[in-house]
Amino acid sequence: MLVIAIVLITAALVWYTVGVMAELRAGRLRPWHVVAFLLGLTFDATGTFVMGRSRAPRAPPQSAARWPP
């Protein structure tokens, strides 16, 4: 699952970059630039969700100080 998350986050980086660089070159924001940003956001959110689902379960927290012993 972690490989899928890495691919999704990388796709988000690509779409964000495409949107930003195309808008910079055009000098104004066009509708397809917004679509590229939204695709980046979608891939980013999905990759983050997949990463959250793929982490190992954690041990329950233990008290650091037990007083009195």
Domain ranges of the chain: 2-52
Six-digit token pair at 19? 């949107």
Q: Residue 47, SS3?
A: helix
pLDDT higher than 80, residue 44: yes
Give this prediction's pTM.
0.75
Q: Is the dihedral of CA 34, 36, 38, 40 positive or negative?
A: negative
More confident residue, 68 or 14: 14
Closest CA to 1 of 49, 58, 57, 59: 49
Q: What is the pLDDT of residue 61?
A: 61
Of the listed ranges 1-5, 7-11, 38-42, the least confidently predicted one is 1-5
pLDDT higher than 70, residue 64: no
Asked whether the bond before 57 is cis by omega within 30 degrees of 0, the reply is: no
pLDDT higher than 80, residue 57: no
